[in-house]
């Protein structure tokens, strides 16, 4: 995974300074979304979008116009993910992952490292 360091004035810099999910949609020109879906899954949508951005190894070498177009695509993909699935089903956050993690049996003894 690459770590993107946004340059001042670039689209990634603008997105980094954005705090409201609705503003991400506005800045990237994504107008086709249901505010009710966004109300339920806003953090999940933005986290999924961030995953898409970080996993795009070619993004740091692209022009700002291409980066903006890719970010718009990633936001649309992330939003679509949560039209098909719920935040709990996607389990992007630790609290959701922990909720379904197998619990150790109370009768089992944990073993430490062997020396």
Report the mean per-residue pLDDT for the chain. Answer: 84
The pTM of the full predicted model, rounded to 2 decimals, is: 0.74
77: pLDDT strictly greater than 70: yes
The number of angstroms, rounded, from the C-alpha of 30 to the middle of its chain's C-alpha atoms is: 16
Query: Strand, coil or helix: what is 29?
Result: coil
Q: Are 100 and 91 in contact (CB under 8 A)?
A: yes
DSSP secondary structure, 70-102, as one string: HHHHHHHHHHHHHHHS-HHHH--SHHHHHHHSP
**pLDDT at 1 (0 to 100):** 42
> Domains of the chain: which residue ranges?
11-100
Which residues have a Cβ under 8 Å from the Cβ of 38 and sit 6 or more positions away? 21, 22, 25, 45, 79
**pLDDT at 84 (0 to 100):** 87
**pLDDT at 8 (0 to 100):** 84
């Amino acid at each position: 995974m690459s770590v993107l360091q946004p340059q001042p004035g670039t689209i990634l810099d603008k997105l980094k300074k954005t705090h409201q999910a609705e503003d991400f949609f506005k800045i990237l020109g994504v107008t086709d979304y249901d505010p009710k879906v966004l109300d339920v899954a806003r953090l999940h949508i933005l986290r999924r979008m961030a995953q898409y951005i970080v996993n795009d190894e070619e993004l740091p070498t692209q022009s700002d116009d291409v980066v903006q177009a890719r970010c718009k695509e990633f936001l649309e993909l992330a939003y679509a993910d949560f039209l098909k699935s719920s935040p709990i089903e996607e389990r992007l956050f630790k609290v959701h992952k922990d909720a379904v993690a197998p619990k150790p049996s109370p009768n089992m003894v944990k073993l430490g490292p062997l020396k």
